[in-house]
Amino acid sequence: MPYDPSDFPPFAVTVDLVVLTVRRHSLCSLAVRRGESPFKGRWALPGGFVRPDEDLAQAAARELAEETGLCVHDPAAPAQDNGAHLEQLATYGDPGRDPRMRVVSVAHLALAPDLPAPRAGGDASNARWAPVEELLGQNGYGREGEPVAPLAFDHAQILADGVERARSKIEYSSLATAFCPPEFTVGELRRVYEAVWGVALDPRNFHRKVTGTPGFLVPTGGTTTRQGGRPAQLFRAGGATLLNPPMLRPEV
């Protein structure tokens, strides 16, 4: 299908971000409050235009840094600083998804360890970490029973897709470690799985599984008691990215 460069339908291209973290035993997403119409005052996912000289991944990384200060892990770098995992999620281009014009949004998924506090271009009151069930508002009410306005645009769909991607991807990859600080214990990693999947896991079987998977975890030698109880060994993420056999998400 040849085409004429001077004659194409005009589109705007944006990146939207699903930034997930685990706080207080629940899976949370970054949300920003819209300051303008449409959907003024409603919560939305962070995002913005792709610049003319910019790759899609670069645009997503730039937006992520602007909103959270996080830099993106270089997959080549073995030891991790305070970086986040970033990957393309999906692209949303319904003709009516933005009432003003035709906007195609390339959504990205970012996974980050628990962060001090969000900043939305310096304005913290317009950004927050919210539990995903609250943002998705299955029943239309938040955790305290207050009514919750749905996310702007089609962002509820995007968030749901991002959460589903994260839930399935930690099954067969070592990505759950992206939710953890550079050094973490087996119990902390287990609480990540429990929060993301919303289930309880047997600590003994989980310990056997993760410590028995080659390349998943490497002991640092240190221990910590920051979770209380008996001191636990500290680990770093190993080089393995694919878990074979995978972690099994309990039925129902």
What does the binding site for DNA look like in residue numbers (CB under 7 A)? 185-188, 190, 202-205, 207-209, 211-212, 225, 227-233, 245-246, 248, 250
Query: Quick one: what does residue 203 bind among a second copy, DNA, none, with the CB cut-off 5 to 8 Å set by partner type?
Result: DNA
Query: Quick one: what does residue 250 bind among DNA, a second copy, none, with the CB cut-off 5 to 8 Å set by partner type?
Result: DNA
Nearest Cα residue to 203 out of 183, 165, 240, 230: 230
Least separation in angstroms between residue 57's CB and a second copy is 9
Residues that bind a second copy (CB under 8 A): 1-3, 5, 8-13, 34-36, 46-56, 63, 88, 90-95, 100-102, 104, 106, 121
User: CA separation (Å) from 190 to 31, 134, 177, 205, 207?
Assistant: 25, 23, 10, 10, 8
Least separation in angstroms between residue 25's CB and a second copy is 27
Query: Quick one: what does residue 156 bind among a second copy, DNA, none, with the CB cut-off 5 to 8 Å set by partner type?
Result: none
DSSP run (H or E) holding 8: none
**Cβ neighbours for 246, distance < 8 A, ≥ 6 positions apart:** 171, 172
Nearer to DNA, 78 or 203 (CB): 203
Least separation in angstroms between residue 217's CB and DNA is 10
Query: Quick one: what does residue 225 bind among a second copy, DNA, none, with the CB cut-off 5 to 8 Å set by partner type?
Result: DNA
Residue type, 157: Q
Give Cα 55 to chain centroid, integer Å: 20
Rounded to 5 degrees, φ, ψ at 9 are -65, 140
Least separation in angstroms between residue 172's CB and a second copy is 9
Least separation in angstroms between residue 112's CB and DNA is 21
Residue type, 38: P
Query: Quick one: what does residue 154 bind among DNA, a second copy, none, with the CB cut-off 5 to 8 Å set by partner type?
Result: none
In the block, tokens 């235009």 appear at 49
251, with CB counted inside 10 A (0-12, 13-18, 19+), is exposed
Query: Quick one: what does residue 252 bind among DNA, a second copy, none, with the CB cut-off 5 to 8 Å set by partner type?
Result: none
**CB-side exposure of 234: number of CA atoms within 13 Å?**
13
Least separation in angstroms between residue 198's CB and a second copy is 18
Nearer to a second copy, 93 or 181 (CB): 93
Nearer to a second copy, 46 or 118 (CB): 46
Please give the Cα distance from 217 to 94 (Å, whole number). 42
